[in-house]
Amino acid sequence: MKIENEKLKRFDENKDGYLNFGELQKMAIAEEEMEKVINETGKRKNGKDKNKDPTKSLS
C-alpha cells in the first residue's frame, strides 16, 4: 500500500489543469460512501424513500 501512496503523491504533484489520479480516486471513494448511505437508508436515486417513517426526523 505504501508504494501505491507514493504513486498517488507523484500524481498529485502534477498539477496541469486535468483531474489527476489522486483526485479521481478521492471522487470514487466519495461516490462509494454515498452509495453505502443510500443503501443503508433505503433512499433511492429518484428521491423516493421506500422505508420512510414519517414519525422520524432526518437529523
**pLDDT, position 1:** 47
pLDDT in single tens digits along all 59 residues of the chain = 455 555 555 555 555 555 667 777 888 888 888 888 877 776 655 555 556 665 665 54
Question: What cell does 27 get?
Answer: 471522487
The domain limits of the chain are 2-41
11-28 per-residue burial string, b: 16 or more CB within 10 A, e: under 16:
eeeeeeeeebebeeeeee
First to last CA, the chain: 37
* H-helix or E-strand spanning residue 22: helix 21-41
Q: Which residues pair with 43 in a beta bridge?
A: 49
**pLDDT, position 5:** 59
C-alpha–C-alpha distance, residues 36 and 42, integer Å: 10
